[in-house]
Structure 1
Amino acid sequence: MGQPVAGNPTQYMMEKAFIAAGLDWRYLTCEVPAAQLPDAMRGMRAFGFRGGNFTIPHKVAVIEHLDSLSTAAELMQAVNCVNRVGDQLIGENTDGKGFVQSLREVIDPAGKRVVIIGAGSAARAIAVELGLAGTEHLTIVNRSLPRGQELTDLLVTKAKLQAEFVHLVGDYEVTPDTHILVNATSIGLGDAGAKVPVALDTIVAPLVVADVIFNPPQTWLIRNAAERGCTTIDGLGMLVNQAVISFKIWTGIDPDASVMREALEEFLGI
């Protein structure tokens, strides 16, 4: 295990991928206060930036400064990737796409029943993309009743998906008909011992268990699921795939995903 690299993991991956692809491009990390977002977007147009990634608190606020949205971003009403096409800025969301791409490496979500713990931006993106990928049924599990119900209503009314909301009290018991369990909360970020509110005795093979947390990649949920014979997917693949998708959107070139994975592992010191 090496020493972590200072900075931004996505920037580190992108810069390594640009070099590997022979592109004289740069990925800049800019901190923009919420009140200055309109000025930043005008600057993005004026400087001719090819695109950019956006994170909290700008994922929703940036929409009014764009010319159009992809189908997924429109459904989610959240943008994390912007692409310039001519003089137009197009909003996209790669959060869920990166997850689904990782998931497909071990299981096709089409026709499957999926449980998602959480109802924040990651859960929203993942749920919408799973629906677009043909998932049969989604269960949203969340402690906050208003937020969980809001996401479920969006999935049912706007995305036309089969979805239900379970108000979390105590530990969630995974039902035997569940194919895929996803932790889409921030539980475990920077804390490998943080417990996800799921009853361990209901996590049994052949359940596929995924966690969006990439640091550390071996979270409490991933470790325990693996010990119980489940197939697991850590958050590293999701983050790499998000970067791969953004790279392709901006450059039109398929990057070397292995370069990005190695860069991320080097960044995290693992």
Structure 2
Amino acid sequence: MNFLSKITGCFAMPAAENPTVAMMDAAYAHHGINARYINCEVAPEKLGDAVRGARAMGWAGFNCSLPHKVAVIEHLDGLGESAAIMEAVNCAVLRDGKLIGENTDGKGFLKSLRELTDPRGKNIVVLGAGGASRAICVELALVGAKSLTVVNRGRDRGEELVRLICDQTPVQADFAPWEGSYALPADTDILVNATSIGLYPDLDARPDLDLTSLLPGMIVADIIPNPPRTKLLQEAQSRGCAVLDGLGMLVNQGVINIKYWTGVDADGSIMRKRLEEIFSA
């Protein structure tokens, strides 16, 4: 079992290409930004050393993935609003000599969603209660969603997320147990699949839903970037729903990260094009 994870620096040496690295470097090249985005495998017991190294080398910031998103907090100097609420960080930013923890997972999704609709005042159902769901739910709550329903197989984790939303934001959230095929309430405006169901190579998998409850006019979003057109999105579109793929969330996370680190408003279309090239290969 591999217990290593990634802590990714904005300024450092070149590394082997992967989709995220390729997407970020495409943006840097397009905008003439003198930066590189690299992957560094960091063992949990070396996380503090890695953060101190990032400081010492003058990195503008870094991303971190599981299992470091919570543990990294003790090595930072402060947290942004949503990162403090969800108690998880995926992006550290050097500001006035201090490393501040942000979470761009939910922010990237929100930016993508707003290309279709404003979530303010909407009834939203989110499938899953893991880290991605947590980040998305907090951001949706902070911008004024009318209601949030968290649907999850495990009751404890789902109810814990609902309590966090109700306690830390002004939005009412509810838990719905995922037992068999889940039927969406008729007043659902937006459905978000925040699980990994349908991720490559399981191309024919989709969340267990009562497909008759997918109604025309609903927005169905999937956070999975590969494949961009998941089985869920295919089914939803065939029933008259507007759909949102996971590439938008991934791209907009990158756009926000670059803005934090360099001040540049990156062109997301350049980044999306590079991802589409990779995933269609």
Per the TM superposition, whether the score is higher than 0.5 is yes
- What's 1:26 paired with? 36
CA contact 1:172–1:198 (8 Å) conserved in 2: yes
8 Å contact 1:192–1:218 — kept in the other structure?
A: no
Match of 2:241 among 210, 230, 233: 230
Displacement of 1:267:
2.2
Q: Deviations over 1:188-246 (max 9, x none)?
A: 11122102021111111111000000101111110000001100001011100110010
**8 A Cα contact 1:83 1:91, kept in partner:** yes
Q: Distance in 2 between the 1:267 and 1:88 partners?
A: 36
Residues in 1 aligned to 2:121 and 2:113: alpha-carbon distance in whole angstroms: 14
Paired residue for 1:160?
170
CA distance in 1: counterparts of 2:98 and 2:198, whole angstroms: 39
Deviation at 1:7, TM superposition (A): 3.5
Residue 257 (structure 2) aligns with: 246
User: Is 2:61 aligned against 1:51?
Assistant: yes
Corresponding residue number in structure 1 for 2:212:
201
- Unaligned 5+ residue runs, structure 1? 1-5
Q: 1:210 aligns with which of 203, 217, 221?
A: 221
Q: Name the SS for the 1:91 alignment partner.
A: strand
The amino acid that maps onto 1:110 is R
What does residue 72 of structure 1 align with? 82
Q: Distance in 1 between matches of 2:170 and 2:156?
A: 20
Q: Does structure 1 conserve the Cα–Cα contact (< 8 Å) formed by 2:144 and 2:171?
A: no
CA RMSD in angstroms, aligned pairs only: 1.0
Match of 2:278 among 245, 267, 270: 267
Which of 101, 106, 113 is the matching residue for 1:96? Answer: 106
Q: How many residues align?
A: 265
Partner of 1:112: 122
Structure 1 residue aligned with 2:13: none
> For 1:59, what is the secondary structure of its paired residue?
helix
In the TM superposition, residue 256 of structure 1 has moved relative to its aligned partner by 1.3
Structure 1 residue ranges (4+ consecutive) displaced by more than 3 angstroms after TM superposition:
none
SS state of the match for residue 117, structure 2? Answer: coil
User: Where do 1:76-87 residues align within 5 Å?
Assistant: 76-87=86-97
Which AA in structure 1 matches 2:135? Answer: A
Amino acid at match of 2:151: V
2:188 to 178, 182, 190: 178
Percent identity reads 52
